[in-house]
Amino acid sequence: DPEELGKWSFYRAIIAEFIATLLFLYITVLTVIGYNSQNSTDQCGGVATLLFLYITVLTVIGYNSQNSTDQCGGVGILGIAWAFGGMIFVLVYCTAGISGGHINPAVTFGLFLARKVSLVRAIMYIVAQCLGAICGCGLVKSFQKAYYVQYGGGANKLNDGYSTGTGLGAEIIGTFILVYTVFAATDPKRNARDSHVPVLAPLPIGFAVFMVHLATIPVTGTGINPARSFGAAVIYGHHKAWNDQWIFWVGPFIGAAIAAFYHQFILRAGAVKALGSFRSNA
């Protein structure tokens, strides 16, 4: 749709995606990093704790170091998962009417495959999301200078003890859950039939993000959002974050494609119509 390039609502949607992704990264990375800094003075563990830091998940590591003497001072993994899930709920709620509330290149890609978003719009959204993510992480770095690099910058990477295949699988299934929920929540056929669908829509999307973070933070720190992984890697700049970066683009895009296929061909009976060979009265 080349004509949509001349409309204000198109640029407005891109600005909304940029600001929403910026706010998303600002709040979540600040949650991950912020608690490290405040307790850095009472790190007893010293070198051993710091070595351990680079073994386990970066996000979780932050909390370990902080907890060396003061175990429950931080928000914990549950708090990190709430920060990610809750921000997605608030931002999807706020921007759904402006841009669709993607805030995630994998969601944009899934909706593009299902022909709900044009190619131009999809590319522009993904660019705006990546720029928003970089700015959001940059804000956190400027607020938490000393501790940002020390505590891993909220970047995603494959943790020790997990193979590339496991990390990729975890990202694929996690993104599948998210994008499938997005499809279920925005399906116009369901909106007309099930009264809970249009009303609650942003809530299960936020909860899906919350759940996937609870389950896969130990494996990869949970990407399922290439813009989030890319923005953190750009600002953090550590080679490990860049070596594993491809996992956080390939995995989510494969997961989004499977979710689009599952929704369009299995659940929406698109396959049946295409084949025209099965008694269907769906």
The residue behind tokens 């992704």 is 21
The beta strand positions in 81-185, using DSSP E, are none
Q: Smaller CB distance to a copy of itself: residue 168 or 234?
A: 168
Minimum separation from the CB atom of position 55 to a copy of itself (A):
7
Check: CB of residue 107 under 8 Å from CB of residue 179.
yes
Of the pair 150, 191, the CB lying nearest a copy of itself is at: 191
235 CB burial (10 A radius; 0-12, 13-18, 19+)? buried
Sorted by sequence, the CB contacts under 8 Å of residue 258 that are 6+ apart come out as: 172, 176
Q: Which is nearer to a copy of itself, 74 or 226 (CB)?
A: 74
Q: For the CA atoms of the chain, what is the radius of gyration? A: 20
CA distance 201 to 210: 15
The number of C-alpha atoms within 13 Å of 124 and in the hemisphere containing its C-beta is: 16
Kindly tell me which of 129 and 186 has the beta carbon lying closer to a copy of itself. Answer: 186
In angstroms, the CA 156 to CA 152 distance is 9
Find the shortest distance in angstroms from Cβ 44 to a copy of itself. Answer: 12
Measured from the CB atom, the residue of 243 and 280 that comes closer to a copy of itself is 280
3 state DSSP class of 87: helix
Q: Which of 281, 253, 257, 252 is nearest to 269 (CA)?
A: 281
Smallest distance, Å, CB 18 to a copy of itself?
11
Decide whether 118 or 218 has the Cβ nearer to a copy of itself.
218
